[in-house]
Structure formats: C-alpha cells, structure tokens
Structure 1
Amino acid sequence: MNIAVVGAGYWGPNLARNFRSSDAWNLAAICDLDIERARRVAEAVGGAPVTTQLADVLADPLIDAIAIATPAGTHQRIALAAFDAGKHVMVEKPLASSRAAGSEMVRRAEERGLVLMADHTYCYTPAVLKIRELIADGFLGDILFVDSVRINLGLIQPDVDVFWDLAPHDLSIMDFVLPGGLDVESVAAHGSDPLRTGKSCVGYLAMPLARGAMAHVHVNWLSPTKIRQMVIGGTQRTLVWDDLNPQQRVSVYDRGVDIAEVSKATTTDARSAHISYRLGDTWAPALPEGEALAGVAAEFAAAIRDGRPARTSGDAGLRVLSVLEAAAASLQGSGAPQSMTAPIAA
C-alpha cells in the first residue's frame, strides 16, 4: 500500500524511515510546509516525492493512507480531511489536542469505514508486548497497583505542560497491558512550576482503577537523572519494566504479600487475617530484538487489510485523552479528584 508522511519535524523522519523499510508499505510522499526539511528527510531514507501541499496528497487516488506527525492542534483538521478523501490515518501521540476533537476523528473514521490508529509506539516494543502477554495469561494474578516514573532533564515544551508531553507514554502503556484498558474511576493531579514557565514542569497523577487497583504516574522535566520505569504489582507476582536497562528490561518477582483467608465462622474481624511475605525467585524473560516503529507500521497495514481496529485504535487514544483532560481539570481545582465519565469500551 502507498502511504504519505505528513510532517517532517521531530517524529516524521522516524516514520518515513520505517515505512520505507516495511514490506507492507511504499513511501509515496513526504509532506511538510518546509520543503527543504521534507527534502532532507526524503534523502535520508533513500528518496521519496516531496510536497508542501496536503491537498495534493489527499487528492492522489494512489495513496491509501497518511501518517500524521504534526503538532497536536492540527491533528483533527488533517485527519478529518484525510477521511473525507478516503484515506486511512495513523496519528502520533496524543491523538488530538482535546477529547472532543479526538471523538470527532473516531466518529468520522467509523462513518467512512476507515482505520484510525494511534501511534502509541511504546506498545509495540518487545518489552511491552511481553508485559501484555504475561498479564493476559494471568501470570501476575489480579492487578493491585501500577507505579510509573518518567523523569529526565528534558526539553520544556512551549505549548503543553509535562503531563501532556510525557504522561501519554505511560497512560498508553497502561491502556495496552491492563485487562479492559485504562478503566479509570477518577484522576487527581498535582503539578509544580518552579521555573515560572506558566505550565507544570513536575507532575503527579493518582488514579483509582476498576476492581480496587491504584495507578500512579510521576513525570518531570527537571530531574538530572533519567528514569523510565513501571512497576505492576499483582496478587501472584510483581513485574518491573526498566526501559533504560537493555540487558534486563523486564523482571518478574515472585515476591509479595499473602493474606490468608479467614473463615467468617471463626472471626468477623478482618484485621485478624494472617499476613505473610512471599520471597521467591526473580525471572527475566528473553525478549526478541526489533524496532517498535516497525511493529507500528506492520500493525497499521494489518488492520487495514483485515478490516479491523488497530491494537492501539482511536478509542485507545481517546481513553488517554480523557485522563489528560481530567488531569487538567484537577490541576485547576488544586488537585481535587475529577470523576471520569463512562469509559470508552476497550
């Protein structure tokens, strides 16, 4: 199939490179308002037609799909025009600049019978795919908590705060690996702007999940150390994902707390339940090598061929947007928890 990459800035070159190398795709065009930037990307991937005119891309009957790598505020406009032109669409994170805009994108794709895919790249890494598999197989048991940290001395974005910049990665991973997706009951957000930039540079999200579990996300642009880590605790085992440890990205610990069942016939006091600590082995599953974006490109093609939603669909993008908007409302309310509306089905 033929695909055009729209946007040749930060992420567009990575998309162009992976679509160029994919057996499922032919890189038919690179579109950017800066023609020289588009030419540089085209040359870097071995050549491709370049243009500044999105209308020409959308009018080309030979182009089957577009991949959008432009600022979030432009995603809705470009995606809706693409759907009206009969093109399938993949969009880098976040899906849109608001849940309302994302909802309209999902609705239009469904009306046209086209695929809308969120480029939640981390979900296609070998590590996260293994985490999804282990949780789906019940290897961790029932999920009790998720604790995620994404901090570094990073670029302070001019248009979004640290929540919108970094948290979509962690939220999309949770949505991908947890049974039922990102089923959040409420969101409480606390942010800090010590540099007086006008937006939060340090942030914390607390989210009660369905069935009594708890999720917590810490994001930070100001940390001198870089950490990309998620801990997922279950009733049977606990998993640690360390994205910066290439030798052992995923570790599974057979350690935890066991609470023995106490018969109601003998006591009505839950505090009398016997608590024991389980200290078992640690296991690191072998992971295949592979670039995540290659998996993204392959999944986009497979979803189109099979006429099915992508594994990271528009609905997945909406669930992430819902949490981000609730976090923004919580920040405005001095950290007061924001109740979520009915979740979108996974």
Structure 2
Amino acid sequence: MKTVRLGVAGLGYWGPNIARNLAALDGVELIWCCDESVSVGRRLAPAFPTARFTTELDDLLDDGDLDAIALATPVLTHAALAERVLAAGKHCFVEKPLARSVLDAERVLAAAERAGRVLMVGHLLEYHPGVAKLKEIADSGELGDIHYIYSNRLNLGKLRADENALWSLGAHDVSVVLHLAQEEPVEVEAHGESYMRAGIEDVVFCFLRFESGRAAHLHLSWLDPHKERRFTVVGSRRMATFDDMALEGKVTVYDKGFDEEAGSYGEYITRSGDIWSPRVPNREPLKLECEHFVECVRTGATPVTDGLSGLRVVRVLERLQERLDASRLERGATV
C-alpha cells in the first residue's frame, strides 16, 4: 500500500480534528501542519510529533514529497488557497463550502482539471452513516414517492462576525438535501433576520422547489433555545427522520400517511402504523471522510463530494443569498 504524505493548513477550530483523523490512518504520514499563528503551532506540536510546523503555506507547496493538503482555513480563503494547492501539483481537500461564489468555485474546478489532481470538498454529513441510511431508505422506495424534505439546524451560538447562518449552517443542510434529492432546485426563496449583529442573519428560513415536484425547507439559526440537527423526509407511503442529536435511534421510519378509504369517492383516512429504527453503524463521520479522501488520492477515484458536488452547493447557496438580499431590500433593510 502506497504511503500518502499529507499536510493540514488551518489549525483553528476544525483543522486539528482533521489532522488527528488523518494522522491515525494506516498508510498515512502527516508531515506538515500550517497555521499563521506561531502559538497555535507550539500548542499542537506535541499532539503531532511526526509533523513539521510552519506559518507559511509555501513550505508545504514546495515540498516535493507531499502528496496532498487539507485546507481548514477561513471560508473566504478556501478558493484562492485551493487554487494554489492544485497549481503546485498537490491533491486538495477543502472544508465546506468550496467557495463564497460560483465564479470562484468554477476557478477551483478548472485548476483541478488542469492539474489532474483530486479535489474533494468536506461536506461531512454526506459521510455520516445516519445520512447514508436515510438515503438508502429513500432510494429504496420504502417511503414511496418523496414529497418533501425539511431540516432544522439550531443552537444557541456560536455568533459569527464574518458569515451569516445561511453560509455557516446552511452549507451542511443544502449538501444533504441535494444528496437526497439528486437534483438542483428550480426555485429558491430565503428570508432571515439579524438580531445580534447588523447585516449578519442569525436566523434564516429557506425554501427550495425541484422540477420533480419535490420541495425542501431549511430552518437555520444560532439564536435558538433548542439544539437540533435533524432531517425529515416525507413520502407518499411512509416518513423517515435522521436526528444527529439522538443517542439511539438516529434514523427512524414512521408508517404514517393517508390511505384512500375503500368504497369511497376520493376520501382519505389517516394511517398511523409502526415506528422502527434501523441499525446505523457507530462510526465517526470525519474518520470516514478522511479515509475516503486518502483512498481517492491513492487510487485516483472521484470523491463522493468532488468539486462538481461542491459547486452545486455553492450555486444553491449563492441563489439563496441573492433572495436573502432581495428580501432585505423589499423591507428597507441594509444589504
């Protein structure tokens, strides 16, 4: 098995988790860690004894022995840094979202194409065993025709100064909705409110309509008394949920719906049958995501969340942001 030599750039909130998972994989050497803060490097160095620490990304780009770089830097830097990584001939993992605009995302895809290197976007929930089970159930036809999907991603905090709830929280949910629906919306709408900081929405409500007739609704907020991370899929026969906060029964199927009453003329009666929870493997999604990236680097396979997948998410987020801006103008608020 070919040893894959990796580096991680960005060691703030999430970067150390990526580094930890990569360093623990068989056939992987974590040889570089990069962060602009010297003190961060000093604090984390004992946890990653095989890695060299630097404040300069160029040190990683100039290392001919380095195969790939994982970027966990601030969102506004994702596209530009990913372009540099790919131009240096390195495979690139970039945290979600891929970019803050479709134009920037398309440039990263073009750089990956020119370099002939793997580009993978860290849409973590698509590797969650619970989401995989929910998609398996939906795709099997067990729920019937899918009518609509809705998600709640709520908590009290953390307040952001550089991005609103749509971009901070919605990147997760948009990726899962697109993953489940397997199509992009033909219509989007978004409304939000800024209560804690002017111009930065703390709560956002999104609506998506698809050509198939399916619909989706997202409730995103870091100003809420509840901590929820839940998706619900409503079908013509049954319904199912994925609740990431549940300790057990993360995926639940409900035999609920409407049945046409025998001998009636189009009248329906409600059905409330069994409720059950299929087994969901207890594996860390981030470990699965990192394993997948390394395997793609090793074999040249296309990642599940490749550049095109990341571009689709950015395209929907950008359209939702446009509607969010328009809704502000309509009520006389500042964009």
SS of 1:295's partner is helix
Which letter maps to 1:228? Answer: R
Q: Give me the whole-angstrom Cα distance separating, in 2, the residues matched to 1:217 and 1:259.
A: 30
Q: Give me the whole-angstrom Cα distance separating, in 2, the residues matched to 1:223 and 1:272.
A: 45
Q: Deviations over 1:126-148 (max 9, x none)?
A: 21121122222222222110011
Do residues 314 (structure 1) and 307 (structure 2) align? yes
Aligned partner of 1:122 in structure 2 is 125
Q: Give me the whole-angstrom Cα distance separating, in 2, the residues matched to 1:136 and 1:46.
A: 44
Aligned partner of 1:252 in structure 2 is 253
1:113-192 matches, within 5 Å, as 113-178=116-181, 180-181=182-183, 183-192=184-193
Q: Give me the whole-angstrom Cα distance separating, in 1, the residues matched to 2:268 and 2:109.
A: 47
Range with bigger deviation, 199-208 or 121-130: 121-130
Cα drift, residue 111 of structure 1 = 2.2
1:55-134 matches, within 5 Å, as 55-134=58-137
Q: 1:288 to 1:111 in 2, by over 3 A?
A: same
Does the CA contact (< 8 Å) of 1:189 and 1:335 recur in 2? Answer: no
Aligned partner of 1:233 in structure 2 is 234
Which letter maps to 1:293? Answer: L
1:23-62 matches, within 5 Å, as 23-62=26-65
Which letter maps to 2:118? Answer: V
Cα drift, residue 260 of structure 1 = 8.0
Range with bigger deviation, 101-110 or 298-307: 298-307
Aligned partner of 1:344 in structure 2 is none
Q: Give me the whole-angstrom Cα distance separating, in 2, the residues matched to 1:141 and 1:118.
A: 31
Which letter maps to 1:80? Answer: E
Q: Give me the whole-angstrom Cα distance separating, in 1, the residues matched to 2:239 and 2:171.
A: 23
Q: Give me the whole-angstrom Cα distance separating, in 1, the residues matched to 2:235 and 2:125.
A: 22
1:270-309 matches, within 5 Å, as 273-309=266-302
Do residues 324 (structure 1) and 327 (structure 2) align? no
Cα drift, residue 308 of structure 1 = 2.5
Structure-2-length-normalised TM-score: 0.92
Do residues 221 (structure 1) and 222 (structure 2) align? yes
Which letter maps to 1:193? Answer: S
Q: Deviations over 1:293-318 (max 9, x none)?
A: 11011111222233232001111111
Does the CA contact (< 8 Å) of 1:189 and 1:203 recur in 2? Answer: yes
Does the CA contact (< 8 Å) of 1:192 and 1:200 recur in 2? Answer: yes
Which letter maps to 2:230? Answer: Q
Q: Give me the whole-angstrom Cα distance separating, in 1, the residues matched to 2:22 and 2:104.
A: 27
Range with bigger deviation, 124-133 or 215-224: 124-133
Which letter maps to 1:254? Answer: D
Q: Deviations over 1:25-81 (max 9, x none)?
A: 211110111122123223224442111121121111111100000011111121111
Aligned partner of 1:193 in structure 2 is 194
Does the CA contact (< 8 Å) of 2:257 and 2:271 recur in 1? Answer: yes
Aligned partner of 1:343 in structure 2 is none
SS of 1:185's partner is strand
List structure 1 runs of 4+ shifted beyond 6 angstroms: none
Cα drift, residue 157 of structure 1 = 0.6
What count of residue pairs does the alignment treat as equivalent? 326
Does the CA contact (< 8 Å) of 1:257 and 1:277 recur in 2? Answer: yes
Does the CA contact (< 8 Å) of 2:10 and 2:34 recur in 1? Answer: yes
Do residues 11 (structure 1) and 14 (structure 2) align? yes
Cα drift, residue 196 of structure 1 = 4.5
Q: Give me the whole-angstrom Cα distance separating, in 2, the residues matched to 1:142 and 1:41.
A: 50
Which letter maps to 2:175? Answer: S
Does the CA contact (< 8 Å) of 1:188 and 1:335 recur in 2? Answer: no
Q: 1:191 to 1:87 in 2, by over 3 A?
A: same
Q: 1:280 to 1:103 in 2, by over 3 A?
A: same
Q: Give me the whole-angstrom Cα distance separating, in 1, the residues matched to 2:262 and 2:43.
A: 65
Q: Give me the whole-angstrom Cα distance separating, in 1, the residues matched to 2:235 and 2:13.
A: 37
Q: Give me the whole-angstrom Cα distance separating, in 1, the residues matched to 2:45 and 2:260.
A: 59
Which letter maps to 2:219? Answer: H
Q: Give me the whole-angstrom Cα distance separating, in 1, the residues matched to 2:121 and 2:260.
A: 40
**Structure 2 segments unaligned to the other structure (5+ residues):** 330-335
Cα drift, residue 177 of structure 1 = 2.8
Q: Give me the whole-angstrom Cα distance separating, in 2, the residues matched to 1:316 and 1:40.
A: 35
Aligned partner of 2:332 in structure 1 is none
RMSD: 2.0
Q: Give me the whole-angstrom Cα distance separating, in 2, the residues matched to 1:243 and 1:284.
A: 13
Q: Deviations over 1:227-247 (max 9, x none)?
A: 111111112221111111111
SS of 1:230's partner is strand
**Structure 1 segments unaligned to the other structure (5+ residues):** 263-270, 337-346
